[in-house]
Amino acid sequence: MKLYNSLTRRKEIFTPRFGNQVSMYTCGPTVYHFAHIGNLRSYIMEDVLEKALRWEGYDVKRVMNITDVGHLSSDADEGEDKMLKGARREHKTVMEIAKFYTDAFFADCAKLNIKTPDVVEPATNCIEDYIDMVTVLLDKGYAYAAGGNIYFDTSRLDKYYVFNDFAQDDLAVGVRDDVEADDNKRNKADFVLWFTKSKFEDQALKWDSPWGVGYPGWHIECSCISKKHLGEYLDLHCGGIDNMFPHHTNEIAQSEAYLGHKWCNYWFHVHHLNTNDGKMSKSKGEFLTVSLLEEKGYDPLVYRLFCLQSHYRKGLVFTWENLDNAAVTYQKLLTRIAALNPDTGAEPDLEAVKPYQAKFQKSLDNDLNTSMAVTNLYDVLKGKGLTDADKLFLLADFDRVLGLNLLQGAEKVRKSAKTAQSGTGEYRITAPADADPALAEEVNALLLRRYEARKAKDWAESDRIRDELSGRGIVLKDAKDGVNWTKV
Ligand SMILES: [Zn+2]
């Protein structure tokens, strides 16, 4: 598989250090609020990457942290503590906030078919590991104490800005209008490893350390949690592109200073999702979450498809119109799959499907070209010489990577189509193909009663049913031999 490596800034053939074993690390969420769909774009694409590697036969071990302490609102150690801010907002304790939003995060992931990593580690579980790493960094001369905090000394490194060649002066690290610059830092780019002088009097979570009671800086958790579960060498590190600096840059600085050797070979960064007004999390004042998508009637997997339709290294523009297009595409795709016969009893021809699998692999191997991989689904549907059994086999196989619930979705369409053809031989009731099966059953039953009332010239009952349906947004359109309905 060829992947773009942010560290070398070119596409490279992905080769794990040890045979087919892949150690993969993902920066997890800071659990002080619901994840917005921009964050979730990264998790969807990382999920596809993990599944693609597994599909190709790699043995992947994936680890993710949960930031439940120490992440300040500016990534450069400045501003408010995010967890504390969440706790204040909701009049809860920090641990209650962490628990609630961790659960909410994984509930969103489940709806988006994002597999939970093999190891999920909350940052507050590993305090001893941070203290050990900071102690070693101090011993090796990579860290210093100042003003009660422990800082990483970036001037000790040959190259600190590993992802780009910015001149140090170009980066306003920690210097924003609304935050005070930290005078304790020897160099502008230095960052906190351990705080004991908290600006927050009511900082809820504090631990004993050799340097006084305090709490870890944000970046140290990923270096330590990765080392704890994946050892000294990491094959693949993932995250949103906004984490590249300073977070990932600092992770590399700490880890390699501590280990004394190169740490991670491949860095995978997912680009931003933006709305038309340039914001990542909001559209016209609405905070974009999976729950909001559901409230508006979208299947969360429509959002997954929307993400897959474009490349992870391109910015993606979110609009409701774009999402509507993805919803139509998804529904059409399911309807086409629903037209295949799952009950032929035939076995797939494993020779006939091979060229299609090879093509799909080529899409994945080309820097995870997911839009091409989605197109490969249509190649299968159009596939000449493929039986329905071959097609269904391939669609299920590709869906192990794409995660669009294609066969389950098609089954639902098939069921609602069956319901839609209820009625009698003389009077056919047709529900929309994408109708919720429970609703379709109910509406069709009412329409059949209306038909029978009309046959019996019971106009009052017939009108009552029509009014009830129209009150529920059901629009009727008479057809030659029956009625078609839609829901507005
Ligand atoms: Zn991280």
Compute the distance from residue 218 Cα to the ligand 1 centre, in Å: 8
Compute the distance from residue 139 Cα to the ligand 1 centre, in Å: 24
Q: Tell me: the pLDDT tens digits for 2-17? A: 999 999 999 999 999 9
Comparing CA positions, the residue from 244, 228, 317 lying closest to residue 276 is 317
Confidence of residue 437 (pLDDT cuts 50, 70, 90): confident
Angle, to 10 degrees, between the axis of helix 300-308 and the axis of helix 320-338?
A: 100
Confidence of residue 368 (pLDDT cuts 50, 70, 90): very high
Residue 422, pLDDT score:
60
Residue 175, pLDDT score:
41
Is residue 282 within a helix (H) or strand (E), and if so which, with residue range?
Answer: strand 282-283
- Judged against a pLDDT cut of 50, whether residue 170 lies above it is answered with no
- Judged against a pLDDT cut of 70, whether residue 417 lies above it is answered with no
Task: Give the residue from 237, 270, 303 where a domain finishes.
Answer: 270
Same-domain status, 353 and 443: no
Same-domain status, 406 and 425: no
Range with lowest mean pLDDT among 95-109, 223-237, 278-292:
278-292
Q: Give the pair of three-digit tokens for residue 123.
A: 């940052």
Q: Tell me: the pLDDT tens digits for 342-367? A: 998 899 999 999 999 999 999 999 99
Residue 176, pLDDT score:
40
Residue 169, pLDDT score:
47
Range with lowest mean pLDDT among 14-28, 63-77, 148-162, 454-468:
63-77
Q: For residues 113 and 47, is the Cβ–Cβ distance under 8 A?
A: yes
Compute the distance from residue 393 Cα to the ligand 1 centre, in Å: 38
Residue 285 lies inside a defined structural domain of this protein: no
Instruction: Print the domain residue range for 49.
Output: 2-270
Residue range 414-419: mean pLDDT, rounded? 69
Q: What percent of the chain has pLDDT over 90?
A: 66
Compute the distance from residue 137 Cα to the ligand 1 centre, in Å: 18
Residue 142 lies inside a defined structural domain of this protein: yes
- What is the b/e burial string over 223-248, where b = at least 16 CB atoms within 10 angstroms of the residue's CB? bbbbbebbeebbbbbbbbbbbbbbbb
Which CATH number does the domain housing residue 343 bear? 1.20.120.1910
Q: Tell me: the pLDDT tens digits for 99-128? A: 999 999 999 999 999 999 999 999 999 999
Same-domain status, 255 and 306: no
Compute the distance from residue 26 Cα to the ligand 1 centre, in Å: 7
pTM above 0.95, yes or no: no
Residue 352 lies inside a defined structural domain of this protein: yes
Residue 155 lies inside a defined structural domain of this protein: yes
Q: Of 144 and 414, which is predicted with more confidence?
A: 144
Q: Of 454 and 468, which is predicted with more confidence?
A: 468
Confidence of residue 317 (pLDDT cuts 50, 70, 90): very high
Same-domain status, 192 and 312: no
Residue 249 lies inside a defined structural domain of this protein: yes
Comparing CA positions, the residue from 258, 239, 257 lying closest to residue 248 is 239
Specify the residue for token string 């559901």: 294
Specify the residue for token string 């979705």: 409
Residue 174, pLDDT score:
43
Q: Of 74 and 309, which is predicted with more confidence?
A: 309
Residue range 139-143: mean pLDDT, rounded? 98
- CA 427/CA 479 separation, integer angstroms: 9
Same-domain status, 398 and 450: no
N-to-C CA span, the chain: 46
Which CATH number does the domain housing residue 55 bear? 3.40.50.620
- Judged against a pLDDT cut of 80, whether residue 288 lies above it is answered with yes
Same-domain status, 401 and 312: yes
Compute the distance from residue 67 Cα to the ligand 1 centre, in Å: 9
Same-domain status, 130 and 246: yes
Q: For residues 223 and 182, is the Cβ–Cβ distance under 8 A?
A: no
- Cα–Cα distances in angstroms (integers) from residue 141 to residues 131, 138, 183, 469, 479, in the given order: 15, 5, 20, 75, 82
Residue 429, pLDDT score:
84
Same-domain status, 74 and 223: yes
Compute the distance from residue 231 Cα to the ligand 1 centre, in Å: 16
Residue range 376-390: mean pLDDT, rounded? 97
Q: Tell me: the pLDDT tens digits for 65-107? A: 999 886 766 556 666 778 888 888 888 888 899 999 999 999 9
Specify the residue for token string 């190709």: 56
Same-domain status, 209 and 325: no
Compute the distance from residue 202 Cα to the ligand 1 centre, in Å: 25
Q: Of 116 and 423, which is predicted with more confidence?
A: 116
- Judged against a pLDDT cut of 70, whether residue 403 lies above it is answered with yes
Compute the distance from residue 239 Cα to the ligand 1 centre, in Å: 7
Same-domain status, 23 and 56: yes
The sign of the dihedral angle between the CA atoms of 131, 135, 137, 141 is positive
Q: What average pLDDT does the structure give for the chain?
A: 90
Q: Where do the DSSP E strands lie in 111-249?
A: 119-122, 143-146, 149-152, 191-195, 215-216, 234-240
Residue 284 lies inside a defined structural domain of this protein: no
- CA 261/CA 231 separation, integer angstroms: 13
- CA 157/CA 221 separation, integer angstroms: 20
Q: Give the pair of three-digit tokens for residue 263.
A: 């740490």
Residue 70, pLDDT score:
66
- Judged against a pLDDT cut of 50, whether residue 197 lies above it is answered with yes
Residue 283 lies inside a defined structural domain of this protein: no
Residue 178, pLDDT score:
43
- Judged against a pLDDT cut of 80, whether residue 168 lies above it is answered with no
Compute the distance from residue 263 Cα to the ligand 1 centre, in Å: 14
Q: For residues 230 and 63, is the Cβ–Cβ distance under 8 A?
A: yes
Compute the distance from residue 219 Cα to the ligand 1 centre, in Å: 6
Compute the distance from residue 71 Cα to the ligand 1 centre, in Å: 11
Specify the residue for token string 């880890």: 255
- CA 191/CA 209 separation, integer angstroms: 18
Compute the distance from residue 248 Cα to the ligand 1 centre, in Å: 6
Q: For residues 429 and 420, is the Cβ–Cβ distance under 8 A?
A: yes
The residues, any chain, with a CB within 8 Å of residue 477's CB and separated by 6 or more, are: 483, 484, 485, 486
Q: Of 202 and 157, which is predicted with more confidence?
A: 157
